[in-house]
Amino acid sequence: MFIYPKMYRKLKRGPQVILPKDIGIIIAYTGANKQSVCVDAGTGSGWLAVSLASIAHKVYSYDLREDFLEIAKKNKEALGLENLTLKKGDVTKKITEKNVDIVTLDLPGSEKALKNAHKALKKDGSVVGYLPNAEQVKKFVSALNKLKFYDVYTVEVIVRDILVRKEGMRPTNTGLWHTAYLVFARKA
């Protein structure tokens, strides 16, 4: 079993978190870096928010629920991150930030937040949908197409654990398979 780096071992979990296997591809495919300004929703336990904040210039993360924002606040403090702003709010109603580089969406009905994500993003900025079910992917991609996002790209990250032994080197019988589909797109 993979032992997460120290940073993740410090973090508390409330609602289902985005795991490092998916966080990695989100960072790589959006090109998040020390100049990036990001909007994230829902905050949940803040695993994606703190991962982005640990490499980006600034992260604003929204959630509807005070109790989840409280968990995320503890995780933010555990890592000493000062560039992460936690906000109470419904992203299907409003995203205040403008001209941002990246918007990440992990919430039920996230396609309903795409109009606001589109307004918040700068041209060529990236949006990411983290979507557990295929039906959600269809709705999300259809909404992206209506808003004329380009480079719409959907993946699933499967990590296979490999047993390395003197005899019988092979993948393990079990492992972490499906977590969610990830949809990436850019604002035209």
Ligand X SMILES: C[S@@+](CC[C@H](N)C(=O)[O-])C[C@H]1O[C@@H](n2cnc3c(N)ncnc32)[C@H](O)[C@@H]1O
Binding site for ligand X (CB under 6 A): 15-18, 41-42, 44-48, 62-65, 68, 90-92, 106-108
Q: Which is nearer to ligand X, 85 or 124 (CB)?
A: 85
| CA dist., res. 164 & res. 55, Å (int) | 33
Q: Which is nearer to ligand X, 47 or 149 (CB)?
A: 47
For residue 46, is the peptide bond before it cis, meaning its omega torsion is within 30 degrees of 0?
A: no
| Block residue for tokens 């959006």 | 30
| CA dist., res. 177 & res. 28, Å (int) | 20
For the record, the structure tokens of 44 come out as 């949940």
Q: How far is the CB of 43 from ligand X (least distance, A)?
A: 6
Q: Which is nearer to ligand X, 36 or 110 (CB)?
A: 110
Q: How far is the CB of 132 from ligand X (least distance, A)?
A: 9
178: CB partners within 8 A, 6+ apart? 132, 156, 158
Q: How far is the CB of 84 from ligand X (least distance, A)?
A: 12
Q: How far is the CB of 16 from ligand X (least distance, A)?
A: 5
| CA dist., res. 35 & res. 51, Å (int) | 15
Q: Which is nearer to ligand X, 41 or 167 (CB)?
A: 41
Q: Which is nearer to ligand X, 28 or 188 (CB)?
A: 28
For the record, the structure tokens of 5 come out as 């780096």
Q: How far is the CB of 35 from ligand X (least distance, A)?
A: 22
